[in-house]
Structure 1
Amino acid sequence: MVKFSLIFVVVLCCCCCCCCSCISTEQSSVNIFVAPMSYESGTGTLTSPFSRLSQATHLARQFKNRPVNIWLRAGTYYLNQTFKLSDKDSRLPYAPLTISAYMDEKVEIKGTIRLPFWNKVVNGDVLARLPKSVRKSVFVTNLKQYGISDFGSPKGGGIELFHYDKKMQISRYPNNGHLTISKLVEPNTKIIRSHKGSIAGKFFYQGDFASRWGKETDIWLHGYWFWDWRDEKQAVNTIDIKRNIIELKKPYHGYGYRKGQNYYAYNLLAELDEPNEWYLDRVSGNLYLYPNSEIEKNSPPEVSILDNIIELTDVSNVTIKNISVSGSRANGISIKQGVNNTIEHVNVKHIGNMGVQIIQSPNSSIINSEIHSIGGIAITIDGGDRAKLISANICAINNKIFNYATVNNTFSPGISLNGVGNCVKHNNIFDSPYIGIWFKGNNHLIEYNEIHDVVKQSNDAGAIYAGRDWSARGTVIRHNYLHDINGYKGKGAKGIYLDDEFSGVQIYGNIFDNVRDAVFIGGGRDNIVDNNLFINSYRSIYIDVRGVEWGRGAITQLKNKLKKVPYQSTIWQKQYPELSNVLTVNSRLPVGNVVSNNVFFDRKWNSVYPKAKPYVSFKNNHHLVGSKPTDNYQVHKLLAGFNNIPFDKIGIKYKE
């Protein structure tokens, strides 16, 4: 009886303090308030808010048949554990749960802890290791005094440091750019498609920089050791400064090492020489910072302590909106299972691994949000039933996605799109070392996105990428604007890249401007390239026959992926009739590709491999000489079969 009375008082108070009535009808909303500086004894009203999110969600469970709003008042919510919703918090469609900032107030939910206690470095041994120019500018604090003992590894997934809402840089050499492998100690022990390298992580370097590192005990190198599309962080075993040889700790990089490949060193106190750099002694717990400005006790640096900030599992009909989420070692917001969940107007930043993931939660979405300063993948979408080709309709719409893959530079796209029947629409994706959108699975829709300035540190990668799968068919890529994508040193970035015989994709109505290799089809089948506009590409369209030449080795993976789906079933044969005979008719050849109704303002538009041309249908393409279209990319010359592309609808234009 006492418990019932308490709940009634909370709801009644909420009703009296809010515009909407909570008790007039069965469908009226329940409003619960939370404030970061409130008293523990708060009752959840506007005038006496709860102090913790968990208090609000616990109360919300009592009102399963009515819409509930949890209003977060202005301020920063420092979490000491992940905020979790489970099946107990799941809602009905007519009685959803919304967790939102109140009115236009600024709300931040963080997985960090503040570090207010700093002193200038006075230890003689430490000062001797620091560069002379910064010895009076470096500060130190001990993390153990804050109860932090799990520092994580320099390889990734450990602490990160933030100050004034900026991510600080772990000390490194060089401060910008890279070093290169000048020579291998054990050359020609690894050969991949005529590329000669070494299986051993032992190589020569140039310069005398390592002479400063004699007292460093935990040096790491981050390199693109064999390929420009695969990076890895590895610990140093020994450095021979007389012979200029670095030897890495085992296990060595799986692909090996090649002369001329790039790397840099990090996690060195001796290289703490630029403002906003930091170094952690993982034995003592001493954290050293060279701040760019004064450390104020009201705005001290912060370190990430939580792996994940928000997790929703087996929850339906929940919306999270109008907040900022930041400062985790692993993930920002995770939604797994359930249906009809929404992330809206959320700023996700300073995340160690993945910004947002929505997994097997049909009819869910992330919309109108910003995802940036992300160590790995910005957004992961995965849902649907491939065996039955049932769509999940999980979408990313109208999001600004940038500065991702900052820790894991490769295999970390802006959006990882998987499963069946999901969509990526009206997003702006930019400023990244790697891929914009990487898709797998079937029947996705990728449309009206602007992607630019990606693949900046890698090569043999694309703004939109998929690879090595005959079965992952049915995706439509239309009305996207891809521009200024050239790769590291301009060697090998693609616009839309269907790698290693990826097949069955429609590429329609896209604009490619200043993209090195605009459409690159690596031996795949049944791809349609229609009504696209190409401007200033080194190669506009490329198709090869790798399946019967140097790419024969992919056959095992291609067959294994085919076996995982019932491609001979009635459902699959109805949707993809060409797939049923992929192993028996023209196997491994690029049959069924169509290039039609495209317009090219390029030096050379047809870069199709000569041996592939007999298998490609070319229809009604237009190679124009002269100035490119300037007003919204409209082609004013009447060209048979070409429809102008709706440029004004591309990017973050319409709120859905």
Structure 2
Amino acid sequence: MKFYLAVLVCLFALCFPNRSEADLNLYVKADATPDVQGTKEKPFRTINDARDAIRKARQQGQLKAGDVVTVNIEPGVYEFSSSLKFDKTDGGTKKNPVVYRATESGTVRLQGGVTLDAALFKAVTDENILKRIPEAARDHVRVYNLTPVSRGAFAEFKPSYRGVPTGPWLYMDGAPMTLARWPNADADNAGWASFTKAIDKGLPDPKAKDPAKQKLHPGSFVFDDPRPARWNLDQGVWLLGYWTHDWSDEAIRVADYDPEKKIIKLAAPHNYGIMGGTWGAKERRFFALNALEELDAPGEWYLDREKMQLYFYPTKSLDAATIVLARLTAPLLKIEGARHMRFEGLNIEFSHGSGIDLRNTEGIEIVGCVIANLGSSGISVVGENNTIRSCDLFNLGTRGISLSGGDRKQLKRANNRAINNHIHDYGLFQRTYAPGIYAHGCGQIVENNCIHDAPHNAILYGGNENRFERNEIYRVVMETGDSGAFYTGRDWTSQGNLLRHNFIHNLGGGDASHVNTMGVYLDDCDSGDTVEGNVFYRSGRAIMIGGGRDNPILNNLVLDCAIGLHVDSRGMTWKQWNNPKSAGWNLEERAEKMNYKNPPWSTRYPHLAKIMSDSPREPLYNPIERNVFVNCTKEVCHLGGQVKQLLDKFEIKNNLAVNTTGAPSGIGMTKDLKGFTNLEGSSTKPIPLGLTRNSSGKLTLEQDPKLLTPKIAFEPIPFDKIGLYQDEFRRELPVRRSQD
């Protein structure tokens, strides 16, 4: 450190005599020579060196917090076996943040794994191993001895897990490889096996003679396919399944297989049991993983954890391949307590933990970065006034971006921002409730993001005063049910959230008959959300109010959805409502924790303040105004439970139900529902409402104000402002992958 300090002192003295106007530029290069000085000619070897030199200079008074400091990182791969950490000593000021930037965007990779030498992959010669590999794959599979790069034997998977499996994980040419599995997921197969009969659901049975069965225990089921007889269960095979509900996935080890009775017994219990009572499909689904006997397709791999032998069926010749074994489970970049730093143009990749973790930070900017190929989440933010902008996040084991902060009780906004980010192919390991963006706390801002291709939610949120505007969402909720692109639920206090001018389209199961996927899902009496000016297209049930209150539904355009709007009264009939026991929803208790009867809550949310004396079970104060429902194939508005008996308490007015071509069947209309006007076109004079493509192939929205404004005072939606935009970091927009 004395050497670094001397270098910096020399730089300051020779180059920057007036410190109030000086700019300090340090340089880092992965393959720098040992004679490091932090200059462009003699750069530091590691980012840690630059950080430590800055810290030391500040300690000695040679560098002040407000001085302009830029760390220029040259192209290269920077491997980390532990987190790159910054703390409260490393930041700058709002005017002059400390900047860590790639000199060429996209060429600097911070990597939490080891790059494997492709030349060291060898043909498999062990006869015992060859017998276990499917015959057609034997000549293609290669083996790599990991002993020289490992730190001892690799840990085994847990008997059951939800989310990130025990590492490491293998990547080739910028994509995650598949742990050997069955069935394979390909163009001809969705990759799931199914069963319909449980032998032991694994749920507690108070009458059981066996004490072990009086509590939650491992279940078993009949599986007619003889495939499990091939697997070496002693070495461990896991089944990742939706065991009871389509919104609860878990991987559980196989304990035993009886080939005569065709019964699979699991090694650990599942919280909801095996086929423990679901209103979804009768068939339950799973796929097997970690089976050497299933190493039969390009891209699959298997690790003998004890002997440290990696078996791999490459997708192409290894001669020019880049292969990385991701091992780091801690965040690659961890920033705690720092203020005013900026990270530009970096690739945070190939790790088995999360990418970036911000804790108690303020004014941190992550801009123009790639955060990808991670076992866990992309970016997690807890703090105030932090910004994630124009980043690409993909190939993530769990969620994309998490925003939290602010003071809910005092309704103090955090103003953390996720803006203009492209988030896709996430939830690879945790298949449910691992959203593209998670927002909680108070006052998060989510704007102009594009989120797509995931098994479950796009945006999962709670808390207060969060704003979601101009986001494009498609091809999410692709393998699950009873969920939505936007999802929140079971909370009276989730007030003040705004969902405005978003484009939600082509959701999983969003065909003309599917009603178990929602565009916006306000579940289980959730209250206080404004849904305004959004466009829904082929989204199952476009908007669902599950018994909640104070949810204005205003000026939305719903196109080609099975059901336009769903409102029910589950709070009036479900026993979970406000139940003080642990199995209940505890709605009032949550409100009491916010001191909801007193300011600022009582003044901001007056209906909530008096809820317990105002028919709290009823779904009141849900104004439905100026919405247009076009070509809904089942129902325009589904009113469930006792809602029809409460319509005199509802404010429903100036809505349109449209059949664009006057089709005699297959289009739902509202008949005599108050607050709705039916409008029909004809095959020769169709009503100009919907999505079309212009001459360049771009989707455009027909929303003729001459038609809609006189009818219902509909306000045009700024469709061309929705989604990603070009800036200094996002110079090209990605091609949309949805099917229209």
TM-score when scaled to structure 2? 0.83
CA contact (8 A) 2:431 2:456 kept: yes
- Aligned residue in 2 for 1:582: 611
- Aligned residue in 2 for 1:194: none
1:547 corresponds to which of 566, 571, 590? 571
1:178 Cα deviation after fit = 0.6
- Aligned residue in 1 for 2:24: 30
CA deviations over 1:150-170 (Å, ceiling 9, x no partner): 634444142110111121100
Aligned partner of 2:524: which letter? D
2:469 corresponds to which of 442, 447, 452? 447
Structure 2 counterparts to residues 641-652 of structure 1, below 5 A: 641-652=713-724
Aligned: 1:243 with 2:265: no
Identity across the alignment (%): 29
Distance 1:188-1:87 versus aligned 2 partners, 3 A rule: closer
- Aligned residue in 2 for 1:18: none
| Aligned mates of 1:551, 1:500 — CA distance in 2 | 12
CA contact (8 A) 2:113 2:324 kept: no
1:491 Cα deviation after fit = 5.3
Distance 1:504-1:28 versus aligned 2 partners, 3 A rule: same
Aligned: 1:625 with 2:659: yes
CA contact (8 A) 1:398 1:655 kept: no
| Aligned mates of 2:96, 2:153 — CA distance in 1 | 41
CA deviations over 1:240-259 (Å, ceiling 9, x no partner): 11111101112333444355
- Aligned residue in 1 for 2:351: 328
Distance 1:452-1:4 versus aligned 2 partners, 3 A rule: closer
2:289 corresponds to which of 266, 284, 288? 266
1:36 Cα deviation after fit = 0.6
- Aligned residue in 1 for 2:395: 373
SS in 2 for 1:366: strand
| Aligned mates of 1:608, 1:298 — CA distance in 2 | 57
CA contact (8 A) 1:278 1:288 kept: yes
- Aligned residue in 2 for 1:518: 542
1:517 Cα deviation after fit = 0.5
| Aligned mates of 1:495, 1:519 — CA distance in 2 | 6
| Aligned mates of 2:274, 2:12 — CA distance in 1 | 64
1:365 Cα deviation after fit = 0.8
SS in 1 for 2:477: coil
Aligned partner of 2:136: which letter? S
- Aligned residue in 2 for 1:133: 136
CA contact (8 A) 1:161 1:304 kept: no
Structure 2 counterparts to residues 383-402 of structure 1, below 5 A: 383-402=405-424
| Aligned mates of 2:68, 2:234 — CA distance in 1 | 58
Range with bigger deviation, 631-640 or 384-393: 631-640
| Aligned mates of 1:109, 1:290 — CA distance in 2 | 26
| Aligned mates of 1:564, 1:393 — CA distance in 2 | 23
CA contact (8 A) 1:568 1:580 kept: yes
| Aligned mates of 1:3, 1:190 — CA distance in 2 | 64
Aligned partner of 1:271: which letter? E
List gaps (5 residues or longer) in structure 1: 16-21, 192-197
Distance 1:187-1:391 versus aligned 2 partners, 3 A rule: closer
- Aligned residue in 1 for 2:199: 185
1:569 Cα deviation after fit = 1.8
Aligned: 1:304 with 2:327: yes
1:189 Cα deviation after fit = 6.0
How many residues align structurally?
642
SS in 2 for 1:89: coil
1:181 Cα deviation after fit = 1.9
| Aligned mates of 2:237, 2:641 — CA distance in 1 | 49
| Aligned mates of 2:575, 2:480 — CA distance in 1 | 21
Range with bigger deviation, 295-304 or 444-453: 295-304
Aligned: 1:282 with 2:296: no
- Aligned residue in 2 for 1:86: 87
Range with bigger deviation, 247-256 or 81-90: 247-256
2:121 corresponds to which of 111, 115, 118? 118
List gaps (5 residues or longer) in structure 2: 58-62, 186-190, 206-215, 277-281, 661-685, 693-699, 729-740
- Aligned residue in 2 for 1:601: 630
1:39 Cα deviation after fit = 2.3
CA deviations over 1:3-29 (Å, ceiling 9, x no partner): 75422234568x5xxxxxx44551332
2:248 corresponds to which of 230, 244, 251? 230
| Aligned mates of 2:456, 2:150 — CA distance in 1 | 36
Aligned partner of 2:347: which letter? S
1:538 Cα deviation after fit = 0.9
Aligned partner of 1:272: which letter? L
- Aligned residue in 2 for 1:212: 230
Distance 1:601-1:400 versus aligned 2 partners, 3 A rule: same
1:57 corresponds to which of 48, 51, 59? 51
SS in 1 for 2:600: helix
- Aligned residue in 2 for 1:464: 486
1:635 corresponds to which of 684, 696, 703? 703
Distance 1:401-1:478 versus aligned 2 partners, 3 A rule: same
1:190 Cα deviation after fit = 8.0
CA deviations over 1:63-112 (Å, ceiling 9, x no partner): 22301100000111111221000112132223310000014571111101
1:577 Cα deviation after fit = 0.6
- Aligned residue in 1 for 2:683: none
1:616 Cα deviation after fit = 2.6
| Aligned mates of 1:148, 1:2 — CA distance in 2 | 32
| Aligned mates of 1:32, 1:394 — CA distance in 2 | 29
| Aligned mates of 2:326, 2:319 — CA distance in 1 | 15
1:323 Cα deviation after fit = 1.0
Aligned: 1:534 with 2:563: no
Structure 2 counterparts to residues 463-502 of structure 1, below 5 A: 463-487=485-509, 490=514, 492-502=516-526
Distance 1:330-1:4 versus aligned 2 partners, 3 A rule: closer
SS in 1 for 2:629: strand
| Aligned mates of 1:483, 1:432 — CA distance in 2 | 13
| Aligned mates of 2:275, 2:235 — CA distance in 1 | 23
Distance 1:242-1:297 versus aligned 2 partners, 3 A rule: same
CA contact (8 A) 1:110 1:327 kept: yes
CA contact (8 A) 2:233 2:255 kept: no
1:568 Cα deviation after fit = 1.5
- Aligned residue in 2 for 1:166: 175
Distance 1:531-1:211 versus aligned 2 partners, 3 A rule: same
1:295 Cα deviation after fit = 2.3
| Aligned mates of 1:236, 1:428 — CA distance in 2 | 39
- Aligned residue in 1 for 2:154: 151
| Aligned mates of 2:334, 2:293 — CA distance in 1 | 39
1:31 Cα deviation after fit = 0.3
Distance 1:633-1:587 versus aligned 2 partners, 3 A rule: same
| Aligned mates of 2:95, 2:472 — CA distance in 1 | 36
SS in 1 for 2:333: strand
TM-score when scaled to structure 1? 0.94
Range with bigger deviation, 227-236 or 284-293: 284-293
Aligned: 1:339 with 2:357: no
CA deviations over 1:222-274 (Å, ceiling 9, x no partner): 00110001101111111111111101112333444355111111100000000
